[in-house]
Amino acid sequence: MKKVFLSILTLLVLTSCSNSATPSSEKSKKTVTVVLDWTPNTNHTGLYVAKEKGYFKDNGLNVEIITPGESSADALVAAGKAEFGISYQENITQARTEGIPLVSIAAIIQHNTSGFASPVEKNIQSPKDFEGKTYGAFGSEVEKSVLNSLMNIDGGNVKNIDFLNIGNTDYFTAIKQNIDFAWIYYGWTGVEAELRGEKLNMIYLTDYSENLDYYTPVLATNEKLIQSNPTLIKSFVQAVSKGYEYSIQSPDEAATILLKAEPDLDKDLVKKSQEWLASKYQDDADHWGMQKLSVWENYANWMYDNKLLSRKLDAKKAFTNEFLPKGDE
């Protein structure tokens, strides 16, 4: 996350404090907004299932799912302009060390499914093979540190990578523009590559570092809402949990629900991606959404050691399991 984003986010929080909902108004509020991190995809299916199947209504909620505009989900949630948003552990970690009151209330996917993808003909089979190659960067400060960590383990040197900023250019377009490899989520872009018949070599972060097995994405809210209206949050999370549990048990039906809500999405991609993610949402956790303190501490310590944080994170305040159906720490 760029420092300019944090500056804007801090400004939004400070200028909107007077507009934050009071405890009394929150108690009567039933219509809530959840902001996606990106365009709708299978990371978000549980939300759409909860809406379509009436789980939100069963909990007395009318939920509006929106995509981010000029302001990100993090900025809108931190400023009290939306009750909930899709975020990432790395964003919340950095935001909280800058005094921005975001809190993760559920892990959408239990383990980090991202990694560095390259066409098989590039012959990139380990981090050391990144040397002499061109990386398609999206502009985050964390990228070089992640690559450096992986390459140090494998005996490579990050200084021997050429960085080319591709911004939001999609992987398949970028790879045709003198890019050798890029950072992707396999559950969407990797699955799309399968459908296209394009074979990839994947180097997953979790294969090389326990510290990089962080929660991405997560469901986030504002610390002030937790204090003022925990009942609202509990009702929302209970419904979302049912949505993801349904998506785990019935991926084909869940994909159909997502496609009904977002008909412009590629049907084959959604179906295959949903099938791939079904076992990843909960994975080895006791139940969907659970988060561990060790995961938050490991990644925060890694960020601090790599000078990506201005100060250490109080990890216990960055997340909570208390709103999950079987909420415990």
DSSP string, 93-132: HHHHHTT--EEEEEESSSS--EEEEEEGGG---SGGGGTT
pLDDT value of residue 5:
43
For residue 259, pLDDT over 90 is answered with yes
CA 230 to chain centre: 23
Task: Report H helices in 156-282.
Answer: 171-174, 191-196, 223-228, 230-249, 251-261, 267-277
pLDDT value of residue 139:
86
pLDDT value of residue 71:
87
Domain ranges of the chain: 3-111+214-317, 114-212
pLDDT value of residue 177:
85
For residue 316, pLDDT over 50 is answered with yes
For residue 9, pLDDT over 70 is answered with no
pLDDT value of residue 273:
98
Compute the mean pLDDT over every residue in the chain, rounded to the nearest whole number.
91
| pTM recorded for the entire structure | 0.89
Residues 6+ positions from 221 with CB-CB distance below 8 Å: 77, 83, 84, 85, 102, 103, 105, 233
Superfamily of domain 3-111+214-317: Periplasmic binding protein-like II (3.40.190.10)
Return d(Cα 246, Cα 134) in angstroms, integer: 41
Of 24-28, 78-82, 306-310, minimum mean pLDDT range: 24-28
Same fold, 3-111+214-317 and 114-212: yes
Class of the 114-212 domain? alpha beta
Q: What is the pLDDT of residues 74-128, one digit of tens each?
A: 999 999 999 999 999 999 999 999 999 999 999 999 999 999 999 999 999 999 9
For residue 21, pLDDT over 90 is answered with no
| Mean pLDDT, residues 298-317 taken together | 96
Return d(Cα 100, Cα 310) in angstroms, integer: 13
pLDDT value of residue 235:
97
- Would you tell me how many other CB atoms lie within 10 Å of the CB of residue 275? 15
Q: What is the pLDDT of residues 135-184, one digit of tens each?
A: 999 988 899 999 999 999 999 999 999 999 998 899 999 999 889 999 99
| Mean pLDDT, residues 199-210 taken together | 96
For residue 65, pLDDT over 50 is answered with yes
Rg (CA), the chain: 20
| Mean pLDDT, residues 207-232 taken together | 97
Return d(Cα 204, Cα 216) in angstroms, integer: 13
pLDDT value of residue 141:
86
For residue 327, pLDDT over 70 is answered with no
Return d(Cα 64, Cα 48) in angstroms, integer: 10
